[in-house]
Structure 1
C-alpha cells in the first residue's frame, strides 16, 4: 500500500519537470541581451582608444583583449538559441509557435558568425588604427551576419506580438510591432552616427529579453 502511494506521488510530481526545463530555457533569452550589452559597455569604458560615438561594440573583439568580446558573442549566441528553444516549447501549438523560435535562433546564430568573422579596425580603434576603415572579406561577412541577424530579430518581434496579444498583453503587442521600426531607424542612421546604430541594436536586444520574460510569466491577469 505504501509503495502504491509513493508511486502515485511520483507520477503526480512528474509534470513540473518539463515546465522547469522550459522556464530555464526561456531564461537564456531573458539574460542574453542585458549580459551582452553590459559586457560591451564595461569593455568600452575600459579599453584604450574606444569611443562609443565612433566605434561599434563589435570592434571590441580586436586587439589583445579582443578575446573577451569574442566570448561575449559566443555566450550571447548560445543563450539566444537556448531562449529560442524555450519559446518553441512555450508557444507550441499557438500563435507565433513556429516562426518566432526559428527567427530568434537565426538571430542567435548571427552572434556566432560575428565571433568567427571579426569586424574591421578603424575609427582609431584598436589604438593606432587609422581613422578610415578598409572593408575586408571577414569584415564583409561580419556586417552581413549582423544585417541578417537583426532583420531576423525585427521579424521575430513582429511575430511575437501575436502571442502577446493572445495572452492579453495588448500594449506589449503594439510595442513589439513598433520597436523594430526604431531598430531599423538606428541601422539606417549608422552612416551618420555609430551611437544611433548601437542604441537601435541595444533596444532590440533588451526588448527581446523583456518580451521573453513576459511570455514566460503567462497570460495577463484580469
Structure 2
C-alpha cells in the first residue's frame, strides 16, 4: 500500500496547531497542581471537574475555557494539515466538538459533593442542579468525541504507513475509553482512571499536532 503524502502546512496552520500542543500540558499542569494542593480534594474519588467549585473554582473554570479555546484552534489547524487524507475530515471535526464541549463544561459548573469543597457533607448532597446535569452532558460529549478522534487518527496513520503513530492513537483511545467506562460503572478510583485517560488522549492529540506542525 502506498503511504499517503502530506502537503506542507502553511504558517497559519502551524500557528493554529500550536493550540493543541499547548492545551494538553496546560490543562494537566493546572488541574493536577490544584488536585494535590486544594484542601479536601481527593483524586481517587473526586473528578477533576469538581475543582470548578469553591472559592478557587474560577481557576479550573478558566482552565476549561482557555484549553477549550486552544483545542478549537488546534482542530482548525488539523483540518488544514490533514485535508485530503484518510481521516482528514472527521478527526478535526471530532476534536473541534471536544474543544467546544470542554469550554461548555467550564461554564456549566459541577455540583459540590462528597466532602469537596472542604466542609461539604460526605456522599451525595441531594438533587443535582440543572448546571450540574448539563456539565455531565457536556463532559460526555467531550469524552466521546476525543475517544473517537483518537481512533480516527489511528486509521489516518495506518493508511499513511506509520504503524507506530497508528498504535499510539489506538492506545490513547483505548486508555481513555477504559478510564471513562470504569468511572461511569463505579469502579474503584474511577476519578483517577478517568483523569489519566483524558490527559493521555489530550496529550496524544498534542503529539499529533506537533507531528503535523513539523511536516515539511
TM-score range, shorter chain: 0.7 to 0.9
| Structure-2 residue corresponding to 1:212 | 209
Contact 1:58 1:69 in 2 (8 A): yes
SS in 2 for 1:189: helix
Q: Within the alignment, does 1:88 sit opposite 2:85 as a pair?
A: no
2:168–2:204 Cα contact (<8 Å) kept: no
**CA deviations over 1:25-68 (Å, ceiling 9, x no partner):** 00101111110010011112221111111211111111111111
User: Of 145, 148, 151, which aligns to 1:152?
Assistant: 145
Superposition TM-score, scaled by structure 2 size: 0.88
Residue 115 of structure 1 and its aligned partner are, at CA, apart by: 1.1
Unaligned runs of 5+ in 2: 1-7
Deviations 1:133-170 (A, max 9, x none): 24322111111111111111111111112332344421
Return the alpha-carbon distance in structure 1 between the equivalents of residues 170 and 60 of structure 2.
30
Is residue 161 of structure 1 aligned with residue 154 of structure 2? yes
Tell me if structure 2 keeps the 8 A contact 1:164–1:215: no
Please identify the structure whose Cα radius of gyration is greater: 1
Instruction: Report the CA distance between 1:218 and its aligned residue.
Output: 2.4
Contact kept? 1:123, 1:129, Cα under 8 Å: yes
Counterparts of residues 68-217 of structure 1 (less than 5 Å): 68-133=59-124, 134=126, 135-190=128-183, 191-192=186-187, 193=189, 194-217=191-214
SS of the residue 1:195 aligns to? helix
Query: 1:10 maps to which residue?
Result: none
Tell me if 1:61 matches 2:61.
no
Deviates more, 1:103-112 or 1:88-97: 88-97
Q: Secondary structure at the match of 1:176?
A: helix
Identify the structure with the greater helix proportion: 1
In 2, the alpha carbon distance for the partners of 1:112 and 1:215 equals 24
Instruction: Give unpaired runs (5+ residues) of structure 1.
Output: 1-15
TM-score of the pair, normalised by structure 1: 0.86
Q: When the two structures are aligned, how many residues end up with a matched partner?
A: 203
Whole-Å separation in 2 of the counterparts to 1:173 and 1:106: 22
Q: Matches of 1:94 and 1:188 in 2, distance apart?
A: 31
Aligned-residue Cα RMSD (Å) equals: 1.7
Q: Greater relative contact order: 1 or 2 (C-alpha under 8 angstroms, separation 6 or more)?
A: 2
